[in-house]
Amino acid sequence: MRIGSQRPVDEPEINLISLIDVLFCLILFLVLTTSFNQRAALKIQLPSAQAGPVADEGPPLIVMVDVEGRYYVGNNEVLKTDVGSLKQAIAAAAGDDRSQPVILRADGRTQHQAVVTAEDALAQLGFVHLRIATAPERKP
């Protein structure tokens, strides 16, 4: 005599379609909400000034200095903080065009030596159109 049920054993099954839908929605949400703004990549506090905006002369080369004295040329970080490494990175980003305008974005809390080093590297390479980025002065 057989003791047990006569029903066939059901195999458990995982439905992957709903999982794929959820993952697709998450990826889509992350792609759409990601900010591609360059300024959001590095948090710096610009010093304030009263000067107005300057006329546009074309796409500028952007050199950034953060509060710790690290340099960024375009979107790339310069690993060493000496003048030679900075000159190499600037030359690679700018190519042969030394008439290109340069915007120096330095954090207001950065040591003055880091800003002077960036200006020195730009001057040694022959850049003459240098602008220092500032934020508008806050009214009390």
Domain limits at 120?
A: 39-136
Tell whether the model's pLDDT for residue 4 goes beyond 90.
no
DSSP state string for 56-98: --SPPEEEEE-TTS-EEETTEEESS-SHHHHHHHHHHHHTT--
pLDDT score, position 73: 92
- Is 4 within a domain? no
Is the model's pLDDT at 92 over the cut of 70?
Answer: yes
Burial of 129 (0-12, 13-18, 19+ CB in 10 A): middle
Instruction: Using the predicted structure, report yes or no on whether residue 39 has a pLDDT greater than 60.
Output: no
**Do the domain assignments include residue 116?**
yes
Q: How many domains, the chain?
A: 1
| Reported confidence tier of residue 75, pLDDT bands at 50, 70, 90 | confident
| pLDDT tens, position by position, 50-60 | 666 666 667 88
Q: Is 74 exposed, middle or buried (CB count within 10 Å of its CB: 0-12, 13-18, 19+)?
A: middle
Domain at 72, CATH number: 3.30.420.270
Does 22 fall in a domain?
A: no
7 belongs to a structural domain? no
Q: How confident is the model at residue 38 (pLDDT cuts 50, 70, 90)?
A: low
In-domain check, residue 34: no
